[in-house]
Every structure is written in C-alpha cells, then in structure tokens.
Structure 1
Amino acid sequence: MSPPLFWIDEVPPAGSAATLTGPEGRHAVTVARVNPGEVIALGDGAGSVGTCEVSEVHGKDTLTAVVRRFDFTDRPRPVVTLVQALPKSERSELAVDLATEAGVDRIVPWQSARCVSRWAGKADKGVAKWRAAASAAAKQSRRAWIPEVTDLATTTDIRARAADIIAAGGSVAVLHEDATTPLRDAIGADAPEIMLVVGPEGGLDDAEIADLTALGGQSVLLGPEVLRTSTAAAVALGAIGVLTHRWAR
C-alpha cells in the first residue's frame, strides 16, 4: 500500500528533514495518527514528492520527517482540460472530486446557458470550494499534481480557450448524448491538449454546441448511457487514459 500523502509548500532533497505543520500537520498527527518510524509522502502539488520516515511528532499538529527518496513526476500528456458547467449544489464538488481522481489537469468552472446553479456574486466562494475539493481528492488518490481550478468562465472565455487549443493542434470534445461521433474518433493520441466540455443537468444549449463546433471542436458521444454531469468527465478521462499515452508506463 502506498504511504499517505500530505501537502507541504516545498519538498526538500533526499537526506533532508522536513517539518509538516498547520492543517496538514494536524491531519497527519491527530486524524491519521502518524507515529515516529512510519513512512509518509510529502508533496508540493506541483510534481515533487518525497518518501519520508517520520522522526518526531510534536503536539497535535506538527511532525518532523526525513526525506529518504525524492521524485519528480511530469504531467501526463496530452494535458486534459475539463470545462465543467456548474452542476447543482449537491453535485458540484462531487464533479471536481471524481475528475481529479481520474487524472484531470485543469478544471474550468463554466456558467453555461442552462445551468440551474448560479454563482453570480459568489464566484470566489465557489472557486475556493472547488480548489479545496481538488486538493483533497489529489491527496486521497496520491497524485503528484493538484489540478488547477481556474476562475469562473463565461461562454466567451470558453470559445477563446477552445480556439487557442485547436490552433495549437489540440482537440476539443463536446460531450453530447445526441452526437454520432464516438470519443475515440475525436481525440488525437499525439495532441498536446484535449479539452472536454461537459454541460449541466439540462444539457448544452444548441448555440453553445454550434459555437464550439464552428471553431473546430467536435460533438462526441461517450457511450450508450446518459451520464450525470458530475460523472461524465471521470468516465471520459478513463477512456482518454487508454486511448492516448496518459496511462502508458
């Protein structure tokens, strides 16, 4: 079993001591009950992870550990950006959690036309919750990278981002239950970036699909079942892991 992972601002080189304190230290000492002699992992969320042996525990929220091995993991290729239309409140953070566990690199919250959820006047709070969910899910799944969660995007922002990705040789896959092109035919294994666009519970507006396909994106079918907005991205990421080099080891 892989050791539990905790976040630290900077992972020191092998042979050095690291101090874990604050909320992460409290989680390690008080919740996980880590003791001296045990092995843990300390990561910075940006690719660096140290496999460490705990040497001392101080109080309820601080421990010292010696880094026995330092590893740096590059981001997988192609990069996957998820444009996630805002789900209803009870499923909002679940979508982030599942996509993070499935390996997404970047999450763009999108106020699409048919979103029931509205972040007007509270976008900062919503983004903060998504970032916290991404951090927790990355730790749980022992990821070296915490996915970036951007600020709330408008449809104009999404069009601009899609255009840039396509211009750079990437792919834009708009998940839609009425599409006829399967996902496997819409993504390139050698594309530098893939954008997945997932609509809200009410589905994507026809104008949104038309805008993105006019730019060079493709409306794609993920499979025979109609998935919830909170699970669609995770299922698509699993397919992309197999269809590209992301899961090649």
Structure 2
Amino acid sequence: MTRQVFLLAAPGLLGAVDVSASRGAIPDSGADSGWGAVRDSGGKAGGIGTRLMKLEAGTETRLTGAEAHHASVKRLRAGEVVDLVDGRGWRAGAELVGSGTDLRFRLVEAPRFEACPALRLTLIQALAKEKRDLQALEAACEIGALRVVPWGAARSVSRWDGRAKQIKGREKWQNLAVSALKQSRQSRLAEVGEYVESGAGCADSGTGVSPSSRRGAGDENSVFAETRRIIAAEGRVFVLHESASERLSVLLRVISREAPHELGGELSGAGNLGAGNLGGTMEIAVVVGPEGGITEGELAGFRAMGAEIVLLGSSVLRCSTAGPVALAIIQATLGSW
C-alpha cells in the first residue's frame, strides 16, 4: 500500500495564493509543472518546490496551515512514515516524530526527483451548475492532468464575473487540486489556469447572456487564445461534441503510431513544462462544454484555431464525467497507464 501524501510548500499556499501571479518563475524549483509564484500571509514571495529539495535525510521539518490540520485529523502516530511532496516532482519519505500540535517529520531518505511525464494533459472545463465542474476537476487531477482551465462558456449558467469572483473561484479549484494530488499520491500539483471566456460572436440569442460582456476571440484571456497557445507548441486540442463524426479513440491510435516512442514514458532531468515551452513533452487538451452544450459560434472558433471536434462515444455523458473519461482514454492509449 502506498504511503499517505502531504504537501510541503511555501506558507500560505492553501489559503493565500496570489493567483494573479501564478505563472511566474520559481527559483530553484526543479521541474516546473506550470505553477508559479505564490505569496505567504506576510507578503513575501514563496512557492512550490522551494523547500523539500533542499532538505537532507535525517533533517526535521514541519507542516503548516491546512496541511498541518489535515495531518492532525488523520490521527497519525509517532513513528508512522508518510511521503512529503512539493508539488513540483520532489518526494521524500518522512517519519512523524512529534505529536499533538507539534507535528514534526524527520526525513528517512533523501528527497528524490520523479521524472516529468512526457505527455502533458490539460482539461479546459466549462463552469457548470451543481458543482459538476468541480467533480470534473477533481477526477481530472487524479487521472494526471497537469493543468485545468476554468471556462465561462456562452451557455454556462455559473459565471465568474469580476476579478474578486475569479480569484475566489481559482482558489477553490486549486485547493481541490491539492486534495486530488494527495488522494492519487502524486508529486505534481496541477496548475489552475486563468479564467477564460468566449468571444462576443459566440453567445446564443435567448440565453440571457449579453454579448457585450464577452471577450473577443483575439483576447489573450479567451478560450481561443488558450487553444492557439497549445497548438502553436505542437500540441493537440480535442473538443468533445456529440455532433462530431470522428471518434477520439481513432485519432489517438493515429497519434500513437506517429508519436515518439517515449511519449508514454517520462523525461529525465528537470525539464520545463511551462506554457509555451514543453521541454520535449506533448500537450493534449480536452475541451468540455457546459450542460447546454457548446454553441455553433464556439465550435467555429475552436476550428479556426486548429482544434479538432471529436466524439467520445455513443453515450452522451454529463459535463462532470466527459472530461475525466476522455483523459483516462488518452492516458491508457498514450500515457503512463
């Protein structure tokens, strides 16, 4: 049985993430999973990956904030060994040597770097009601998505209007990504990208959504700009839609024949997985619309950027399950499964 995982990161990660700077550089962070700078409660720059890699076997460290609380409610006992990870690929076994409010861990081994996956999975998930977008996010991160992008689609009932709502929404998504990391015992924390919307010409009539509130397709914060970024870096973007004639599974078999032999493996060393610089990896993104579906205008926008409209299967799935199912198929066909 694998050991329980706890995230050892900069103070304030789980409650005071500076999401406006989440794509910045991290000093001495080893491999970059797409995450960037965070700030602790005192306003000092911190980040994922800046602590664990510098520790040695035999040294002691403490969990802070939400992670310390989680460890206490798990009722760990002195002598138990867990895995400490930093969200950037570093992992170390550590023994609990304190108890109660003094949760100290002594490293029983030197931190080791786990190679970067050669296949980078991204989920562009439309906001949805009844927390179905959160269900999709959590499952996607457990499956191995390294990036998730919240999308206010034309038919999304739930919306993140205003910067304050976007910051709060992204913090909620990031905290859920942390939970998924620990559940799946992974060492890399998925990045939550900037909130994106569709262009003005993509809104339906009769939806109650004002086209004037939409961002244009040329806006760098639009879902189409996100699509263009991935394809410009020689990635693939698959938009799931029931009207498509081409099956995702068929396209994946073609990619499997054409892709480098090592695509399903890992990259040695500390490659950079940051946006626009995949360091030898291949990025595949899956786009999932809201309950009301993706509009014809949005489909046209995705096609214009080079995305492929694909059919998942004969069944029509909810937006909470479609993305994770597609990512699981990709992992099984091209990835590490």
Tell whether the structures are fold-level matches, with TM greater than 0.5. Answer: yes
Corresponding position of 2:299: 209
Q: What do the CA deviations read for 1:114-135 (whole angstroms, capped 9, x no partner)?
A: 1011111312111111111111
Q: What do the CA deviations read for 1:11-43 (whole angstroms, capped 9, x no partner)?
A: 223333222233212221x21111111110111
Seen in structure 2, the aligned counterparts of structure 1 residues 56 and 78 have a Cα distance that, compared at 3 Å, is same
Structure 1 length normalisation: TM-score? 0.92
CA distance in 2, matches of 1:6, 1:39: 11
Matched, 1:238 2:328: yes
| Farther-moved stretch of structure 1 (105-114 vs 94-103) | 94-103
One-letter amino acid matched to 1:146: L
Structure 2 length normalisation: TM-score? 0.69
Q: What do the CA deviations read for 1:128-166 (whole angstroms, capped 9, x no partner)?
A: 111111111111111111100012112232212212222
SS of residue matched to 1:181: coil
Corresponding position of 1:39: 81
SS of residue matched to 2:97: strand
Corresponding position of 2:244: 179
Shift of 1:85: 0.6
| Farther-moved stretch of structure 1 (161-170 vs 96-105) | 161-170
One-letter amino acid matched to 2:195: L
Q: Give the conservation status (yes or no) of the 8 Å contact 1:173–1:186.
A: no
Corresponding position of 2:124: 83
CA distance in 1, matches of 2:329, 2:197: 27
| Farther-moved stretch of structure 1 (92-101 vs 140-149) | 92-101
CA distance in 2, matches of 1:21, 1:82: 30
Corresponding position of 1:55: 97
Structure 2, gaps ≥5 residues long = 10-50, 199-216, 260-280
CA distance in 1, matches of 2:151, 2:282: 22
Aligned residues: 245
CA distance in 1, matches of 2:298, 2:224: 9
Seen in structure 2, the aligned counterparts of structure 1 residues 104 and 52 have a Cα distance that, compared at 3 Å, is same
CA distance in 1, matches of 2:240, 2:166: 25
Shift of 1:210: 1.2
1:26 to 69, 72, 79: 69
Q: What do the CA deviations read for 1:84-137 (whole angstroms, capped 9, x no partner)?
A: 110114323212111111111100101111101111131211111111111111
Q: Give the conservation status (yes or no) of the 8 Å contact 2:136–2:320.
A: yes
Corresponding position of 1:131: 174
Structure 1, gaps ≥5 residues long = none
SS of residue matched to 1:40: strand
Q: What do the CA deviations read for 1:179-198 (whole angstroms, capped 9, x no partner)?
A: 11111333434371111111
Q: Give the conservation status (yes or no) of the 8 Å contact 1:52–1:69.
A: no
CA distance in 1, matches of 2:144, 2:65: 27
Root-mean-square deviation (Å): 1.7
Corresponding position of 2:286: 196
Q: Give the conservation status (yes or no) of the 8 Å contact 2:94–2:105.
A: no
CA distance in 2, matches of 1:16, 1:72: 18
* Identity value in percent: 41
One-letter amino acid matched to 1:5: V
Q: What do the CA deviations read for 1:38-82 (whole angstroms, capped 9, x no partner)?
A: 11011111111111122222x335223223242212332221111
| Farther-moved stretch of structure 1 (229-238 vs 13-22) | 13-22
CA distance in 1, matches of 2:68, 2:110: 20
1:102 to 129, 132, 143: 143
CA distance in 1, matches of 2:323, 2:118: 17
Q: Indicate the structure with greater strand content.
A: 1
Spell out structure 1 runs of 4+ moving beyond 3 A: none
Pairing 1:63-78 to 2, within 5 Å after superposition: 63-78=104-119
Corresponding position of 1:3: 3
CA distance in 2, matches of 1:61, 1:15: 18
